[in-house]
Structure 1
Amino acid sequence: MAAQRTYLQVPFPEKDQAKALGARWDPMERKWFVQAEDLSPFKRWMPSGKYAASAEPVTTRHIAEPQSGYRVESADDAKGLSLLDFMLLIQGTVEAVFPQPVWVRAEINQIKVSQGHWFLELVEHDATGSVVASTSGTLWKGNSHVIQRFRQETGVELAEGIKLLLSVQPRFNPRYGLKLDILGIDSAYTLGDMAAKLNRIRDTLKAEGVYLLNKRLPLPMDFLHLAIISPSGAASLGDFRAEADRLARLGICRFTYYETAFQGASAPPAIVQAIARAVSLHERDPVDALVIIRGGGSAADLFWLNDEDLARQVCRCPLPVITGIGHEPDNTILDEVAARRCDTPSKVAQLILTTIHDAVGQAEAAMREIRELAERRMRLVEQDSRHWLEDISTRAGHLLMAREQRVQQDYREIRHAAGMLLARRQDRLDHLMQSCRDAGIRHAEASQTGLEQQWSAIGERSALRLREAVTSCEHLMQVILALGPEKTLKRGYGIVRSGDRVLTHQAELPPGAAFSIQMQDGHIDARRTS
């Protein structure tokens, strides 16, 4: 008769110790249990009053023997175990330790679907992001209802990066190794993990003091230039593009698009880079707002947008950010931190149209008000102008009359004063003319005497200079005659000629050339040898 099942109170950190001693996991009760007569190895995990001593402790011999008739060779066998025996021993151990499915936490690293079967590569990361464990799991086509129920309960498609709590049955094959048959998925765990991730991001941004930075930025009163970040070639953005293109054609608003990935591990850094490009554009060409839009998709697709670095970039963006991501019930961390959230891309387009329409209405109202104020002001100015014109006309008539009288009086006074001044100036001019005439006569007489004296002195100096010049010329003529060719030849010098040309330097006569030397009593012909 099999021993009664006894449930244990095993803390999570001690589960591996309990498992090694033979404890098993009950997925329905979500508790560890043991079926053995000797409960002494499990004493510390027993509920109070449930422990009954047993004489035999658990030892390594409790490991199950392999099935299929294979024998475990003893340690005395010098050749040890064959590989097949060893693998069968592992198989038997796995089957003995895990006779029932167990719940395992894991993250999907890769997914492959073939002929209705789901093949998952499962991993676990440590705090640094390094993979510390990995294995493969299979959800067979016959259990496809597990996937359908998971979709219905979570709204999430299985995708890389999602964490799951899986009910698995370990299977060990001597040839293919350890595999996990996936029998169930705990939807609540996945939803809780996604919510926990959102909470961690939210708490981090709040602790850094950036959570509300973008949300506090006011939206512009009008849109003239918008930067749009959207998925590459997204057909679901047709309604938005239709409205945006119409506004662009009419010259009402400009749109600069940055298309990038919105799902997969590469999506967050790609969107961060697109935001940086939009901010750089704003520094050169001012942008009113940054719009992040994405059409409808599964919750798993939107899961990639719940990224801490991406959310931080949106928080710190100097432009007000407007989001239109997914459908109306969808929510991402980007929607929380953005200055304005719209449920869908179409609602973003509606916001843009409404804002521009309101701006136009405000402008028209302002123009009407300005026009009315201007008309009232013009009427007041016109009335004031008529009063001022009448007053100016009256004052001008009086002033002109007074000025005319003053001018006539001034004219008579000026004419009288001018006559007296002209008479005095005429007398002064006559006196000055007589003085100039007398001074001119005296100056002319003095100049005539001076000229005669200078002329006499010039004559004497000229005669002296002429005599000196004659003497100097006679002396120079004697020197020239003394330096003539005949005189030079008489002193023993010769004149070298080449034809009719007199030579003064040896460079003028090349080697082998003929030349003649003129002397006092004749010529000598010669030739240069070197």
Structure 2
Amino acid sequence: MIFLDVPFREKDEAKALGARWDGVSKKWYIPQELSEQPEPFQRWLTNVNTINTNQVLNHDLQQTLTQTQHHIYSENSPLQTGAQDNSNPKKTEKGALLSTVLRKVQQALRQSFPGATWVVAEIANLNNSRGHLYLELTENNEQGQSIASCRAMIWQSQAQRLLQRFETETGSPFSIGQKVLLLTEISFHEKYGFSMVVQDIDPSYTLGELELNLSNIRKQLITDGIYQQNKQFTLPSDFFRVAVIAPPKAAGLGDFRADADNLQAAGLCDFKYFYSTFQGDSVENEMLSAIEAIHALHHSQAFDALVIIRGGGAKLDLNMLNLYSVAKQLCMAQLPVLTGIGHERDSTILDEISNHRFDTPSKVIAFIRHEIFQRAQQAKSDWQKIEHSSRLMVQYLEQDLSQLNQEITHNSQGAIYRWKQAMEPLQFQIQRLSENRIQSALVSINELRQTIDVQLKSSLKMIKANLDLYQHTTEKESKRVLETKHQQIIQWIALVLSSGPKTQLNRGFNIAKNAITGKPVTTANQALKTKSIQLEFVDGKVLAEIDQATGILIE
């Protein structure tokens, strides 16, 4: 990739000639199909090649270039500043030709780097053109800022072999964002600038970086004393409510839900899903948010377990899940954690600290389904035992009841006969005594009836006399009350008639009315809001206006 130093005002011209914009380096470059004919871009080539050279040279290389520069401008050189070659009057220019300087740089690089060099860098950009792989390598500081970058390429003859070996050993394709160890040959061209040609890739270095990160997280969790904390939970004997964290629309989630939805539809277990990406820069924030949401719901309605699943993928993708903050929260989770990340041989820190680790999401739901079915089978077996025992007990009780029924029937018949024999004399005696008592009672009842009739007639006479007295008193008193009320009503009518408007006007009062609506004006505030009022007297009406400023009545 040949970069160009294109001013902003000339970008349209460069674009029209076929130049393209690289978003990573923020520069224009010549595409591969035009790299063999760069003449149209010649005016933008010189500065950018010098800039790229300065960006990639290390301290030793800069010293070599300085020595080379010194050699070019030494006293013995005919190109020394201010010197003139008297043998050739035409060579009176100051300084060296650019091509001469760059060839010296090329020679110095070949002397300083006679063989290939192992270089540690991060892949910032990848482009594949006609089988050749063009790289943009970068090095970042702890703040994530780029401190060095250069171009590199893998020629077609080696690209397929190197990339296939890297993917086989790491389980992940060669891609942007990976930190790699490359065996490179330093290349500098006076026309196309500085670049590196990759001869080999060490996959073990990339894997070693991941293992180092995993080891550091593991040590920190052990130091914190929480590495084994989640393993102390005992898994429930049955599952009724499970929280699930998974990437949205993931294939592993579909495998999990194939069985989970059936369990939920049958009312055996309720699954609550929380979604988070498992790759990219937002993994940490989304995972922590999902865990926090689960803990909030767990306090109000407890979950039996937290399941973390994702489908299969590249081996290096696992590094996205090796985050200390996420592992710490799961270690301190208030419920057992089950993982099914989707890798049978490789594990993440989440697998290590979880209560139980499974190879795939399907195996997680298979375990939950097995536990539920096992509990159901155990319950069925217990129910069958209870049913069998109950039937035996019912049979025993039925036999006992039948025997008791026979004994009761036999004994009761004998008892009835004996009591019947004993009751006959008593029955005759009771009948005789009852008849005597009934005769005596009839005589007493007749005597009481006669006494009641006499007393009742006397009481009725007395009550009738009292009622006649009460009726006379009531009629007399009601007539007196009616006469009194009649007089009061006459007085009230006279009072009402004497309180009418005309009566008040005769007494010297007047009535103020709104001149327009004719409604009475009863307050000063209403009068001030009325432009004109009508004053009614006993002998006529007068129309007057009110000064709104002073409130004075004007006739």
> Which one of 312, 319, 328 corresponds to residue 344 of structure 2?
328
Who is 1:280 aligned against?
296
Task: Give the conservation status (yes or no) of the 8 Å contact 2:122–2:179.
Answer: yes
> 1:336 Cα shift?
0.8
> 1:316 Cα shift?
2.2
**Cα distance in 1 between the residues matched to 2:283 and 2:539:** 104
Question: Aligned pair 1:110/2:113, yes or no?
Answer: no
> 1:324 Cα shift?
1.1
Question: Aligned pair 1:158/2:179, yes or no?
Answer: no
Question: Aligned pair 1:355/2:371, yes or no?
Answer: yes
Question: Aligned pair 1:199/2:215, yes or no?
Answer: yes
Superposition pairs of residues 62-141 of structure 1, within 5 angstroms: 73-76=79-82, 80=95, 87-141=102-156
Structure 2 runs not aligned, ≥5 long = 1-57, 84-92, 416-500, 513-533, 541-553
**Cα distance in 2 between the residues matched to 1:512 and 1:376:** 110
Question: Aligned pair 1:299/2:294, yes or no?
Answer: no
Task: Name the CA shift for 1:335/1:370 in 2 (closer, same or farther; >3 Å).
Answer: same
**Cα distance in 2 between the residues matched to 1:251 and 1:229:** 21
**Cα distance in 1 between the residues matched to 2:179 and 2:508:** 111
Aligned length: 361
> Which one of 498, 502, 507 corresponds to residue 504 of structure 1?
507
> 1:358 Cα shift?
1.6
Task: Name the CA shift for 1:287/1:174 in 2 (closer, same or farther; >3 Å).
Answer: farther
> 1:89 Cα shift?
4.5
Amino acid at match of 1:135: C
**Cα distance in 2 between the residues matched to 1:188 and 1:150:** 9
Who is 1:257 aligned against?
273
**Cα distance in 2 between the residues matched to 1:219 and 1:359:** 13
Matched position secondary structure for 2:219: helix
Matched position secondary structure for 2:321: coil
Structure 1 runs not aligned, ≥5 long = 1-15, 23-57, 398-497, 517-528
**Cα distance in 2 between the residues matched to 1:271 and 1:293:** 12
Amino acid at match of 2:336: P
Task: Name the CA shift for 1:370/1:132 in 2 (closer, same or farther; >3 Å).
Answer: farther
Task: Name the CA shift for 1:76/1:126 in 2 (closer, same or farther; >3 Å).
Answer: same
Matched position secondary structure for 2:350: helix
Alpha carbon RMSD of aligned pairs, Å? 4.4
Who is 2:31 aligned against?
none
Task: Give the conservation status (yes or no) of the 8 Å contact 1:63–1:93.
Answer: no
> 1:184 Cα shift?
0.8
**Cα distance in 2 between the residues matched to 1:149 and 1:512:** 116
Matched position secondary structure for 1:304: helix
Question: Aligned pair 1:60/2:76, yes or no?
Answer: no
> 1:103 Cα shift?
0.5
Matched position secondary structure for 1:241: helix
Which has the larger displacement, 71-80 or 206-215?
71-80
Task: Name the CA shift for 1:64/1:170 in 2 (closer, same or farther; >3 Å).
Answer: farther
Matched position secondary structure for 1:151: helix
Measured against aligned partners, the alpha-carbon deviations of 1:53-109 in whole angstroms (never above 9, x if no partner) come to: xxxxx993698879xxxx994344796566665555544433332232210111223
Q: What's the TM-score, normalizing by structure 1?
A: 0.57
> 1:333 Cα shift?
1.5
Task: Name the CA shift for 1:348/1:297 in 2 (closer, same or farther; >3 Å).
Answer: same
Task: Give the conservation status (yes or no) of the 8 Å contact 1:165–1:190.
Answer: yes
Amino acid at match of 1:60: Q
Task: Name the CA shift for 1:177/1:280 in 2 (closer, same or farther; >3 Å).
Answer: farther
**Cα distance in 1 between the residues matched to 2:193 and 2:536:** 114
> 1:366 Cα shift?
3.9
**Cα distance in 2 between the residues matched to 1:316 and 1:513:** 95
Question: Aligned pair 1:142/2:157, yes or no?
Answer: yes
Task: Give the conservation status (yes or no) of the 8 Å contact 2:68–2:108.
Answer: no
Superposition pairs of residues 6-21 of structure 1, within 5 angstroms: none
Tell me the percent identity.
36
Which has the larger displacement, 282-291 or 506-515?
506-515
**Cα distance in 2 between the residues matched to 1:161 and 1:290:** 31
> 1:199 Cα shift?
0.7
**Cα distance in 1 between the residues matched to 2:213 and 2:536:** 112
Task: Name the CA shift for 1:207/1:515 in 2 (closer, same or farther; >3 Å).
Answer: closer
**Cα distance in 2 between the residues matched to 1:384 and 1:253:** 45
Measured against aligned partners, the alpha-carbon deviations of 1:5-63 in whole angstroms (never above 9, x if no partner) come to: xxxxxxxxxxx7877787xxxxxxxxxxxxxxxxxxxxxxxxxxxxxxxxxxx993698
Question: Aligned pair 1:230/2:246, yes or no?
Answer: yes
**Cα distance in 2 between the residues matched to 1:115 and 1:279:** 53
> 1:236 Cα shift?
4.7
Who is 1:39 aligned against?
none
> 1:229 Cα shift?
2.0
